[in-house]
Structure 1
Amino acid sequence: MKSGGTLPLETDKILAKCPRLRVLVVGKSGTGKSSLINHVFGIKQQVVSHQARGVCNIDDEITSPDNSRLILHDSMGFEPGQATNLQNAIAFLKARSAEHVAIQDQVHVVWLCIKIPHAGGRVLETGDEKFIESALHQKVPLIIVFTQFDKLKSLVEQELTDEEMDSDECDDIVTQRSATKFVEICLRPLERFDSVRYAQTSGKHRHIQLIRRGRLNLHGCRSGSFEIAGRSYARHGQKNVWYVTAVAQRTSARAKVDGSIKIGMQGYWLGLASTTKLFGSPLQTCLKTIHFEITASWNFNDPDELLTNGAFEQRLYSLIQFIVPEDKEIRSWFDNVDPFQTLMGIGTAITAAAAPALAAIGLSTMFIQWIGDIYKKTPEALRCLMAYMCDLTLIMDHLFLKTLNLPPPRRLTQEDIDSAVESYKNSSAATVHKEVRMYANQTTIAQIVRSNNAEEKVKELINLHCSK
């Protein structure tokens, strides 16, 4: 990532300690490991093996040029009567979780992939149970991923009576009975492992659940039942691992937003109205720093550097230029200001007719001059910083949703970016700008600095307008 002309980046500090998420994926052939990995991390996994089909070496580091924040280790499943795979997996976990092992070399999470049995078969083999016990003993976060949930639902559908099939509540019946069977078949055997997390997969929406489960494993627990990962990673950079997890995955927009906010709060958002890290530096340097921090946290597949080549920054400057000055100053820039009142958030919500005006105007000379000067603690500067953080994060959110359904590796295009910017401008931009202006203008800058809560307003606006 080219980051010249910025202040020191918090992302660089974190990634220097833990540059990539290290995932151990365990499971027999046919459990859907590859498709799961490809979708969750937005890659096209093409592993060339010189061994027989279905054979892998757990020590091999599998990487992809499509996602530089990921390292995979692949282990075969544990067949009854074959102890070698189990012994290798347990030894690998022990070696990768020792106290002296640096955080970047540890296994950060284990996915144990198991097909949901559909004919009364046993869900966990003896080898699976021993592996789970070992992972918990080594304090390695573990998620049991039950795959092919859709086939379980298909079996439930086949068992419906004709009356149930014709019922308006047919889908609800299938959903409820499938959930009940899943609990009976898959979750009951896990009751003895009170620190194990699980996920079920059958489609892309289920993969999102997996990421959320994964973040729970790495960051904390519900109801106080999972403390192993917290204890383990508190000594070895747990927060860094959480952030790299959010960066590496490409399935959950919510996780991306959370990661973007967290890195901002850790670096330049906290004390936004008074931080010495920002004020006193050229505004363009501060905005460039914010730009690199936020775009890095989303980790798009952007080999052409479309998000950081300067042109995209100019688009953002064009978007925020109307929020900074007062209305009377903008009137001195343009002969007809009326179309821009709406775009600034001064007037009513943005309309389809007004939306193209902002795209056509470009970046004004007056704003370029203003943004290049050393600036002071003023409401205008605060509005600019807050708007940039909100606009960029929410545009990233729109961009993520537009590329989510594309097949891996989802390489970013200029058309994708243009579409995301227009989508944001036509939806939330005016409302966000109006709220920022109201906040920065509601009181004196001295009072804002003393309250020190501008960053909370940024978080509030992002959470209100991002995808749910």
Structure 2
Amino acid sequence: MSTSTTPVISDEMAADLRKKAGRFRILVIGRANAGKTTILQKVCNTTDQPEIFDKEGNKVWISCLALVNPTGERGIHDINDELIFQSSPGFVFHDSQGFEAGAVDELNLVKVFIESRLKERELDQQLHVIWFCLPVDNARPISRAEEEFFNNCGTGKVPVILIFTKFDGYIIRCFSNLLNQGADIAQAEAEAVKNAENGFAKLEKSLSKYKYPPKKTLHLGDMHKTEATCYDLIKQTSAALDNDVLTQIFILTQQVTARLSTRHALM
């Protein structure tokens, strides 16, 4: 995604940089109802589902990942599988199902995956960023199991971006609370967004108590709408990267995605 402050990279420069650096790799953590699929589709400018490949590069024809499972059920999956959208081949996504209360298996799998990627020598095999998706349309957005991640799972040089999803649902909950407290509809409509933003600010501030807090935090809502974008996520991810080469790869991948989407629309 190009902005007035983002340098436009030519096709020749893009090809050369990709040849040298490879692809940008993202681990996406979140429950099946966290809106992960929609976010990735928005980032990759597509409504298609991703293609899935195992670590040997073989295509997985039957998808049982929580990310793309339409039933929302927790199925058998492999965090090492690569999810790639045809509209944005420069991105490689890995999916974790999120953490259920009392279950340590998934947390251990995530730890092992992060540690293994930290040991990789080749840049395109390393993990570059983690997007942790948590829906805030419920009373307790951060469960004890998820707190375990932020207290016990160090990610080394890999930044964690905490994405509070379904913020529109949180606004509705604030609206309902105001009505229950005696506000009329007009007053509740006027104050619901402000109350939601204040609640988010308090939640964001509370993250500092964890041993390994996220590097960046943001909220996304109304992602089901056609005009919705993930610009804030792109902006925060770019700001979280300390490596100039990785920042260039990330910017490049966004620009190539935009070009491919434009060309596809004109066909």
TM-score range (shorter-chain normalised) is: 0.7 to 0.9
Say whether residues 1:300 and 2:260 are aligned partners.
yes
**Counterpart check, 1:239 vs 2:259:** no
Aligned twin of 1:28: 31
Task: Tell whether the 8 Å contact from 1:109 to 1:142 is kept in structure 2 after alignment.
Answer: yes
Q: In structure 2, what residue type is equivalent to 1:413?
A: L
- 2:80–2:94 Cα contact (<8 Å) kept: yes
* Residue in 1 that maps onto 2:239: 216
Choose from 12, 16, 36 the match for 1:13: 16
Unaligned 5+ runs, structure 2: 1-9, 52-60, 66-72
**3-state SS of paired residue (2:261):** coil
- 2:81 maps to 60
Mapped partners of 1:135, 1:12: distance in 2: 36
1:14-60 residue CA offsets vs partner (Å, 9 max, x unmatched): 11122321111011111111111111111322454354853221001
CA pair 82-166 structure 1, distance change in 2 beyond 3 A: closer
Give the counterpart letter for 1:103 in structure 2. L
What aligned pairs does 1:16-415 form with structure 2 within 5 A after superposition?
16-43=19-46, 44-46=48-50, 48-49=61-62, 51=64, 53-55=73-75, 56-98=77-119, 100-116=120-136, 118-119=138-139, 121=140, 123-126=142-145, 128-133=146-151, 136-161=154-179, 164-167=184-187, 171-184=189-202, 186-193=203-210, 196-204=215-223, 205=228, 207-218=230-241, 230=242, 238-249=243-254, 296=256, 298-301=258-261, 411-413=264-266
Structure 2 length as normaliser, TM-score? Answer: 0.75
Over residues 343-394 of structure 1, what are the superposed CA-to-partner deviations in whole Å (9 max), with x where a residue is unaligned? Answer: xxxxxxxxxxxxxxxxxxxxxxxxxxxxxxxxxxxxxxxxxxxxxxxxxxxx
Higher strand share goes to which structure? 2
The amino acid that maps onto 2:196 is S
TM, length-normalised to structure 1: 0.45
- Residue by residue over 1:295-315, the C-alpha shift from the partner in whole angstroms, topping out at 9 and shown as x without a partner, is x5844336xxx5xxxxxxxxx
Give the paired residue count: 232
Identity value in percent: 20
CA RMSD of aligned residues (A): 2.8
User: Relative to 1, partners in 2 of residues 1:151 and 1:195: Cα closer, same or farther, differing over 3 Å?
Assistant: closer
Quick check: 1:26–1:76 contact (8 Å CA) kept in 2?
A: yes
- Equivalents in 2 of 1:101, 1:135: separation in Å? 21
Give the C-alpha shift of residue 182 in structure 1.
Answer: 2.1
SS of 2:32's partner is coil
Partner of 1:233: none
Q: Summarize the Cα distance change of 1:206–1:181 in structure 2 as closer, same or farther, 3 Å threshold.
A: farther
1-side partners of 2:89 and 2:63: how far apart? 24
Cα deviation for residue 118 of structure 1 reads 2.6
2:55 is matched with none
Counterparts of 2:193 and 2:27 in 1: how far apart (Å)? Answer: 31
Query: Higher relative contact order at CA 8 Å, sep ≥6: structure 1 or structure 2?
Result: 2
Give yes or no for contact 2:137–2:173 (8 Å, CA) kept in 1.
no
2:23 alignment partner AA? R
- Radius of gyration: which is bigger? 1
- Determine helix, strand or coil for the equivalent of 2:236: helix
Q: Shift in Å at residue 192 of structure 1?
A: 2.0
